[in-house]
Amino acid sequence: MKYKQYLPTYSHTFQEYSGWLTVETEHYIFYYTKGSEAEKDIEHIKERQEQAFQKIVTELKVPVLGQKITYYFYPTPELKTELMGDDWFAQSIYGEFCIHVLYTLQDKPIGEHEDTHLLTLPWGISINFLQEGLAEYMVGHNWYGEPHDECVREGIAKGYELSPSKILTEKDWLDTPQDGAVYFYALAGEWIKYLIETFGLEVFKKLYTECTREETAETIRKKYQKHTGKSIEELEEDFSQKLAIYSK
Ligand SMILES: [Zn+2]
């Protein structure tokens, strides 16, 4: 299977790097470097990812493809940039079924998020808001460990426009403010929780699969209506009420 991904600086130097240590588990292959934080934590990492894998395939009922997920752990942003072209914390590469992670004493971005992107590929690549939301829903909290609903309420109080009906296309998602990223990811996670709990996994799955990156705002609206029987504004109203009730 081939998947389109926009990674202009992506490099495969990591494949020729001689400094890797490696270990395999039932569903993963991990690469890490000697003396690194990842090496220290490797037993925990193995356990944590196998647990994430089980959670994702069990809760989302995705078919298990039999291919192992490969993780590359980089100890510094410099080495990550040198070996794969980018210093961002975590990226999953769809076509290669691998994940590149900057793993340091301060930042240890492991768990369900990137694995959800890879393991749900049989459902196709959905619009960003649903795709990131599904990954965050599987994590179950924001990246500081706080509940998504609390994080969304905090973002609203700070004045961010946290409105699912306004985040439809890829452009809408990319246009959300960078300084509010934690709130928008939390909103996406909470939105997916609402959709799955209200309409069930099967309905959600159809909506997710049909809302491809090629859809326009208008056709995405129609998909929401088709699968849930409600307009996205009605859904958002219901969602907001539930979110407000939880706060009391
Ligand atoms: Zn993501």
Say if CB 156 and CB 162 are below 8 A apart: yes
Q: Residue 1: pLDDT band by 50, 70, 90 thresholds?
A: very low
Model pLDDT, residue 104 = 97
Q: How far is the CA of 92 from the centre of ligand 1 (A)?
A: 8
Residue 63, CA distances (Å) to 52, 194, 201, 207 in order: 15, 23, 14, 18
Q: How far is the CA of 114 from the centre of ligand 1 (A)?
A: 6
What percent of the chain has pLDDT above 70?
A: 98
Q: Which of 73, 54, 176, 164 is nearest to 115 (CA)?
A: 54
Mean pLDDT of the chain: 95
Q: How far is the CA of 41 from the centre of ligand 1 (A)?
A: 23
Give the chain's domains with CATH numbers: 13-123 (3.40.30.160), 128-247 (no CATH)
Q: What is the pLDDT of residues 153-198, one digit of tens each?
A: 999 999 999 999 999 999 999 999 999 999 999 999 999 999 999 9
Q: How far is the CA of 248 from the centre of ligand 1 (A)?
A: 30
pLDDT above 70: residue 247: no
Model pLDDT, residue 243 = 87
Q: What is the pLDDT of residues 188-233, one digit of tens each?
A: 999 999 999 999 999 999 999 999 999 999 999 999 999 999 999 9
